[in-house]
Copies of this chain bind each other. A is one copy, B any other.
């Protein structure tokens, strides 16, 4: 069994129209307005009809929000989960012991209404840091939330986890395995504070595949690494990031450890995760450009990622892209000051297929063609280091005046 790539197996993937966390068998969901935000949906529930294996990947920020530590405890243990409840509008972060009790209270009351155990309820929050959660608004809405659960409610849930997001993010893919078909569906939110190692982004993924907990965890971790960990909106890592995944086995199609099916399953999950990650970048706060950064022929994968990250996070690159200015010197400068192993004199820099900068500092006279490419919404930057065999791809957006406006007055 060789290591397959997404391209080799993507003929086994069928993306569904309006796919979401309710696309896989046995999952229901909904999203309602409970009163944390002034208007718009702010409370989501995802529910599995049968107990599901649960996996999670969490923020590396040391000021972890209360829901993060609660979910970490659950997914690290062996118990199964049946529900994910998530509010937007308040992060329940930096709220200390009281905040932790608030989260436990929501978890407990939600479990009571659903008639399941507390530790079968995963809990998540996103929004403003450092304000106490409006627990009663949530609790008073739990009956409504439960009554609204339905087999097509995944998109409502996607809407309810939005903060400054402009569009809801939801996808689902059917995957042909050797013993039948399974479905993986997900919803996500992003917008600001998006950056490697997760940042303020939430992703909830469901599947009806039958898969052991630790196999599920390993597929999820690998997928996050190649998707959410390669996007950046502003280089920030938030207190609340998490990707949770539930696998309820209702397809009766098994995904066994180390099998060919496991590889295909993981590639499908990765493909779905990349789609969700890219949709987060495209909807970055104030973003007007979607930028793909390819690093080729780097000495190591670590160098490739360090350079891609430095370019993706560079305010000078991001502002130049906003202005459509092919100021490629800033890209070379960001790459060369990243700390990664790079020989600037060997580098070739492309916008799409147009080489603007070649080895030995040869500058091509293609300013007009370059400006034309940068006027597009989708921008492809490729840096060929000619210094090894490692490569990576990252996705980012530009910095606009709108980004400043949104974040200067986020709470007002």
Q: Measuring CB to CB, which residues of chain A are less than 8 angstroms from any residue of chain B? A: 59-63, 91, 93-99, 128-131, 192-193, 234-239, 313-316, 319-320, 322-323, 325, 327-330, 332-337, 342-345, 357, 360-363, 399-401, 403-412
Q: How far is the CB of A376 from chain B (nearest CB, A)?
A: 16
B410 touches A399 (CB 8 A): no
**A405 cross-chain contacts in B, Cβ below 8 A:** 401
A315 touches B361 (CB 8 A): no
**A315 cross-chain contacts in B, Cβ below 8 A:** 234-236, 315, 399, 403, 407
**A319 cross-chain contacts in B, Cβ below 8 A:** 403-404, 406-408
Q: How far is the CA of A373 from the CA of B367 in the complex (A)?
A: 46
**Cβ-defined partner of A316 (8 Å) among B91, B234, B343:** B234
Chain A contact residues: helix, strand, loop or mixed: loop
B344 touches A94 (CB 8 A): yes
Q: How far is the CB of A263 from chain B (nearest CB, A)?
A: 33
Looking across the interface, which residue of chain B has its beta carbon closest to that of A98?
Answer: B361
Q: How far is the CB of A187 from chain B (nearest CB, A)?
A: 24
Q: How far is the CA of A412 from the CA of B406 in the complex (A)?
A: 26
B62 touches A342 (CB 8 A): yes
**A400 cross-chain contacts in B, Cβ below 8 A:** 404
B333 touches A410 (CB 8 A): no
A63 touches B344 (CB 8 A): yes
A362 touches B96 (CB 8 A): yes
Q: How far is the CA of A411 from the CA of B193 in the complex (A)?
A: 29
Given contacts A320-B408, A323-B409, 12 further A-B contacts (CB under 8 A): A62-B337, A62-B342, A97-B360, A97-B361, A129-B329, A130-B328, A236-B315, A237-B333, A239-B333, A325-B411, A327-B410, A327-B411
